Amino acid sequence: MALKTFIEAIRETLADEMRRDPSVIVLGEDVGKKGGVFLATDGLWAEFGDDRVIDTPLTESLIVGASIGAAVNGLRPVAEIQFADFIFPAFNQILSEASRMRYRSNNGFGVPMTIRAPYGGGVHGALYHSQSVEAFFTHIPGLKVVIPSTPYDARGLLRSAIRDDDPVLFFEHKKMYRSVRGDVPETDYVVPLGRAAITRPGSQITVVAYGLMAHYALEAADVVGEEGISVEVVDLRTLRPIDKEMVLGSVRKTGKCLVVYEDNRFGGYGAEVAAIVAEEAFDYLDGPVTRIAGPDVPGVPYNHVLEDWFMVNPEKIADGIRKLAAY
């Protein structure tokens, strides 16, 4: 075991997978000599060269489109979108081509491609460097969507994503890159896609979260735990396919569910989680399925005070837990 930051787990996994499998390539803006804007690919160009670590033009549709072509011709591309906010020029390639290739070819072609993108706010990034975009992609059949919250999960899930024979969107909360540390085994382990984790057992309320919000949920659970409220925290890890069994099993035990996500509240991913719980665990509920999420404004403000107002934090989650516990 070795203590790693979140970004170190990503970087080392990319290098390990490229050494293990010569079909793995990395491409994106400034991923070569520069090593990426967050240095997630630092050192890869020096080891693997121009043929496998490819600097692209500032054209997200090209990055994803070229990756799809490479994937159906025997390679396993890992495409980096510099910020998740910039992924939308590639949306048609992801939706109309990558996600549907296996279906439209009658299982003749897969697209073994991973798209990495940093997402999320709280870093003073304002409108175009703070967005949470996961809900757009979890809507699309044919895509897998992964958001790890720990270095251990980042390493294991990224291995699984790269080795998967279908397209995976792998979102990394940028605020966690160097602030989150954890023990990571040196072994070649994987974390299977589609499996959540109970990161804190409890008996009164289930809190479902992912990414940075999974950490904040744990902090809030510690606070309210001192007040006598027992909270179980479920870290989804994979948003699609969702681990319904673990979520529903927890809710059936606790009788109450709070869903936490950073994106705008209306139409966010947490609404789907709430619908699943309401439809499939209704007879077990002792209170309404509730959500803590970002406000419905067009973007995360730059101003520090307003950014704090927008962002979900442990205090807001703890307040939501208290209200649900009192219901």
Q: How far apart, in whole angstroms, are the C-alpha atoms of residue 61 and residue 95?
A: 12
Q: What contacts 185, CB < 8 A, 6 or more positions away?
A: 1, 152
Q: How far apart, in whole angstroms, are the C-alpha atoms of residue 205 and residue 30?
A: 44
Q: How far apart, in whole angstroms, are the C-alpha atoms of residue 129 and residue 262?
A: 14
CB 143 within 8 A of CB 169: yes
Q: Which amino acid type is present at position 106?
A: N
* 129 is known as an active-site residue: yes
Q: Which amino acid type is present at position 257?
A: C
CB 5 within 8 A of CB 42: no
Q: How far apart, in whole angstroms, are the C-alpha atoms of residue 317 and residue 305?
A: 18
Structure tokens at 92: 């048609």
Please list, residue by residue across 255-267, b when 16 or more beta carbons sit within 10 angstroms of its beta carbon and e when fewer do: ebbbbbbbbbeee
Alpha-carbon distances of 105 from 110, 112, 114, 140, 260, rounded to whole Å: 9, 15, 20, 17, 38
Candidates 129, 173, 215, 304; catalytic one: 129
Alpha-carbon distances of 4 from 68, 152, 182, rounded to whole Å: 32, 9, 6
Helix (H, G, I), strand (E, B) or coil at 273: helix
Query: Read out DSSP for 117-148?
Result: EEE--SSS--GGG----HHHHHTSTT-EEE--
For residue 137, the Cα-to-chain-centroid distance in whole angstroms is 11
Helix (H, G, I), strand (E, B) or coil at 231: strand
Q: Give the active site residues.
A: 129
